């Protein structure tokens, strides 16, 4: 019998290392698909490995004062047309355990667009006792008077009357924004210090340096809307009722959709600015993007959110931030995984055409 030589230990190690390398997704050299989000966020090689293995990533982005920012990403098997189609059906895309109700405004907005919007019973009671400097909802002094007056005039039927009056307030806010810009949205007079949503959003936008640096003209359009608009940018406004920390928040957002084409710009960039909210949040910027590693043929869904919240200030602000960051980071990954599944199932159902809000 002929004795065959066994491979030396060095040879076995080489074979083992080669097998491991072949089983691990490679990170292609060249343009970083996440370069657009620098310097706000840097995606590491380890992050890329996790993404290419089908895992989502989420991290808290360093922020100042009362702001909280989160970045999340997941690999997806969709193209830009699919993402845009779903964004146009935002009422289907965003509906989840966190989003209790949602609707897109017509152009021009109509009171019928708000048929499913409703305050909770606790909020209805709060509105009846609202006074400037002391109110459970973020309202202006004029809105407080308007709502209290509607409730008082309705007698025993004050609850449905107040719901109708609040929908009118929301419609008036949206129309004020569309006609004259964010500065026309009434200030919040619910606390001792008046809050103007436009000023707080301007600060949140300025701190999102990846946008201001890479797309200055687009950002200028956000700042000066509706005075400054950009051709090729599709937009609309929607409202939502979301659950946060045991309380529902009613808010409205203006969505702007930009298709890429320039080097270093995502294939699809969706930027949503919060126009107003009833609780907690003074300003919010949400960015959803589809980026691509063309050399490797991989696409990634990215979500970035920066918001300013009341609770992050004051004596207990640091403790609240500690809990909030951990919850936001965990939930961001879950929400993004849910979006991926919805997007990858196919195109959304066809909807009745809605005119552009611009």
For residue 270, the domain's CATH number is 3.30.530.20
Q: 245 falls in which pLDDT band (50, 70, 90)? A: low
Q: Are strands 234-244 and 247-259 parallel, antiparallel or unpaired?
A: antiparallel
Q: Is the pLDDT of residue 246 over 80?
A: no
Q: What is the pLDDT of residue 31?
A: 75
In a domain, 9, yes or no: no
pLDDT average, residue stretch 97-104:
91
Indicate if the pLDDT at residue 218 is higher than 50. yes
Q: Is the pLDDT of residue 313 over 80?
A: no
Segment 39-50 mean pLDDT = 94
Average pLDDT value over all residues in the chain:
85
Least confident window among 8-22, 115-129, 185-199, 242-256: 8-22
Amino acid 328: pLDDT: 66
Q: What is the pLDDT averaged over residues 109-128?
A: 96
Q: Residue 1: inside a domain, yes or no?
A: no
| Domain count across the chain | 1
Per-residue pLDDT at 74: 96
Sign of CA dihedral 150, 152, 153, 158: positive
What letters, b where the CB count within 10 A reaches 16 and e where it falls short, cover 280-318? bbbbbbbbbbbbbbeebebbbbbbbbbbbbbbbeeeebe
Average the pLDDT over 238-252 and give the result: 88
Residue 218 in domain? yes
Does position 355 have pLDDT exceeding 50, yes or no? no
pLDDT in tens, 140-175: 999 999 999 999 999 999 999 999 999 999 999 999
Look at 22-31, 127-136, 196-205, 318-327 and tell me which has the smallest mean pLDDT: 22-31
pLDDT, residue 325, reads: 56
Helix, strand or coil, per DSSP, at residue 163: helix
Task: Please indicate, yes or no, if residue 14 is contained in any of the structural domains.
Answer: no
pLDDT score recorded for residue 237? 98
Distance CA 124, CA 146 (A): 13
Q: Per-residue pLDDT averaged across 93-121, rounded?
A: 94
Q: Within the chain, what is the greatest distance between any pair of CA atoms?
A: 107
Query: What's the average model confidence in pLDDT over 45-58?
Result: 94
For residue 351, pLDDT beyond 70: no
Contact in structure between 207 and 64 (CB atoms under 8 Å): yes
Confidence class for position 330, pLDDT limits 50, 70, 90: low
- Domain, as residue range, for 287: 35-107+197-344
Q: 116 lies in a domain?
A: no
pLDDT at 324: 54
Q: What is the mean pLDDT of residues 203-229?
A: 93
218 touches 234 (CB < 8 A): no
64-74 pLDDT, tens per residue?
778 989 999 99
Of the candidates 306, 287, 252, 305, the residue with the CA atom closest to the CA atom of residue 138: 252
Residue 321 located in a structural domain = yes
310 inside domain: yes
In a domain, 19, yes or no: no
Residue 352: pLDDT band with limits 50, 70, 90: low
The yes-or-no verdict on residue 216 having pLDDT over 60 is yes
Cα 118 from Cα 129, distance rounded (Å):
18
Structure confidence at residue 23 (pLDDT): 36
């Amino acid at each position: 019998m002929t004795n065959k030589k066994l491979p030396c230990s060095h040879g076995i190690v080489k074979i083992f290392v080669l097998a491991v390398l072949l089983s691990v997704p490679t990170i292609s050299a060249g343009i970083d698909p996440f370069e657009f989000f620098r310097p706000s966020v840097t995606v590491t090689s380890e992050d890329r490995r996790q993404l290419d293995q089908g895992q989502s990533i989420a991290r808290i982005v360093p922020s100042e004062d009362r702001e909280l920012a989160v970045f999340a990403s997941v690999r997806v098997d969709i193209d830009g047309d699919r993402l845009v189609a779903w964004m146009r059906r935002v009422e289907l895309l965003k509906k989840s355990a966190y989003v209790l109700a949602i609707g897109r405004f017509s152009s021009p907005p109509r009171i019928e667009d708000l048929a499913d919007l409703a305050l909770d019973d606790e909020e209805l009671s709060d509105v009846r006792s609202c006074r400037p400097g002391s109110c459970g909802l973020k309202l202006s002094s004029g809105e407080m008077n308007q709502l209290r007056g509607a409730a008082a005039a309705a007698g025993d039927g004050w609850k449905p009357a107040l719901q109708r009056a609040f929908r009118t307030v929301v419609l008036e806010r949206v129309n004020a924004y569309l006609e004259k810009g964010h500065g026309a949205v009434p200030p919040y007079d619910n606390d001792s210090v008046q809050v103007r949503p436009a000023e707080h959003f301007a600060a949140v936008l300025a701190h999102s340096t990846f946008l201001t640096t890479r797309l200055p003209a687009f950002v200028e359009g956000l700042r000066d809307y509706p005075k400054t608009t950009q051709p090729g940018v599709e937009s609309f406004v929607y409202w939502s009722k979301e659950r946060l920390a045991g309380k529902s928040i009613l808010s409205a957002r203006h969505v702007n959709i930009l298709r890429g084409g320039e080097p270093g710009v995502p294939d699809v960039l969706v930027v949503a600015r919060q126009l107003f909210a009833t609780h907690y949040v003074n300003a919010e910027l949400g960015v959803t993007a589809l980026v691509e590693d063309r050399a490797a043929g991989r696409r990634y869904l990215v979500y970035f959110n920066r918001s300013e919240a009341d609770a992050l200030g004051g004596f207990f602000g640091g403790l609240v931030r500690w809990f909030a960051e951990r919850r936001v980071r965990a939930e961001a990954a879950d929400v993004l995984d849910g979006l991926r599944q919805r997007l990858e199932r196919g195109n959304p159902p066809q909807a009745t055409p809605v005119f552009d809000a611009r």
